Every structure is written in C-alpha cells, then in structure tokens.
Amino acid sequence: MTGSDKTTFAIRYLLNAPDVACRFIFDDENRTAPRLKLAPAYTAAQLEAALASRWVCFSPHRMFPGNVKMGFRWFCHWVFNCAQRGPGEKIVNLPEVWKFCTADSIPFELAKLSQEGRELGVQLLIDTQRPENVNPSLIGGATELVAFKLISPEAVRAVSRLAADPAAVSALPLGSFLAYNRLSGGSLAGRVF
C-alpha cells in the first residue's frame, strides 16, 4: 500500500547487493533517481553512457512522450540486449509493474527479460501496490516475496497464494515487512524505518 516504504526497501536492496555488474531502474515516476542522487537517462545515448557507472536509471518521458507503456517495453528490450554483452549479475528494478501487464497478458519484452534473462544473470526486483494484478508468469518465477502492509482483500489474497500469512501481512505497521523465501520456506521480519 502507499506509504509502506516499498521504494525505500528497493533502494536499499539495490545499494546493498554485492558484486552486481549493473543495476537497471525504470523510473517513470521520478521517485528513485532523486533518492539515489542519479541523473536520469532520457535518451539511448545517455543510457549507454550510464552503463559505465553500473547504475542506469531510465525516465521514458522524453523518448516516449505520452506513451510510458511503449517506453517500458523499449527499456525491457534494451536491458535484455545489454545483459547479453557481459557476465555478472544484473538487477532490474521495475516499480509498479502491474501498470504494464495484466493477469492475462504480459508485454513480450518483459516476458523475454524475465524468462530468458535468468541465463544472462538478470534478477527482477518488482515492487507493487497491486500484487493481484501482476502477471502469473512473473509471480511464478519469483523466489522471494517481501510483503509490506496490505489492506485490500484482493492484494492480501494474492500474497497469501505466494506463502505469506494473510493476517500477519494485514497487521504489519507501516515501514515493516515480512520476507518469505519461496524455495526454502524460510521467513524473516524487518523494518525499513
């Protein structure tokens, strides 16, 4: 839910991830770049130049005015091509991914990045207020779930299907989270503020 600090968690994850070849961020709402003190990339040339820093933060509004969905698809395609250029882990942060897919459809570029990108070291970091609207192919490939406070019955049901305790997630104070490893079944609790 809004204000639970999903973005802070994602930023800390990006900052603390060890041995990452590159971090790619889709920042259509201009939330992440200012907090990381990054200059957003607005063009393909700026994206290519940002690769040297290993921090690439894309704002689609200049290349794709009025068409953020097309910018999202283009970015997923570009990241996939970049991931092929070299070894190492690459983290791709896609905030509020539900805006770009539905439970029934997913852009080809996102599907390819999610499914084929694993072989190239791509890890998706997806945060959303609307887990019920995230495409099942993305959820099915998730190894970890980090749940912040949810109150919408649809959202609570969605995370409970992924191993989260619905009562515990609903009762979380703002800034707290429950993390579930879907492979081991382990869980832990934490706070971002």
| Tens digit of each residue's pLDDT (9 = 90 or more) over 28-48 | 999 999 999 999 999 999 999
Question: Does residue 77 lie in a domain region?
Answer: yes
Domain range for 134: 6-142
In a domain, 163, yes or no: no
> Is 155 among the domain residues?
no
Low-confidence ranges of the chain (pLDDT < 50): none
Q: What is the DSSP letter of 41?
A: B
| Tokens standing for residue 69 | 């969905």
* Residue where the block lists tokens 């890890």: 123
Q: Is residue 46 part of a domain?
A: yes
Contact 175, 5 (CB under 8 A): yes
**Residue 173 belongs to some domain of the structure:** no
Q: What pTM was computed for the model? A: 0.93
Q: Quote the pLDDT of residue 85.
A: 96
Q: What is the pLDDT of residue 78?
A: 98
The pLDDT of residue 161 = 87
Residue 164 falls inside a structural domain: no
Look at the chain and report how many structural domains it folds into.
Answer: 1
CATH of the domain at 48: 3.40.50.300
User: Is 23 contained in some domain?
Assistant: yes
Give long-range contacts, CB 8 A cutoff, 24+ apart: 183-190. 183/143
Q: How many residues does the chain have?
A: 193
Q: What pLDDT is recorded for position 190?
A: 94
Predicted local distance difference test score (pLDDT) of residue 167: 94
Q: Pick the closest to residue 76 from 134, 9, 122 (CA basis).
A: 122
175 found inside a domain: no
- Rounded to whole angstroms, the Cα distance separating 155 from 1 reads 9
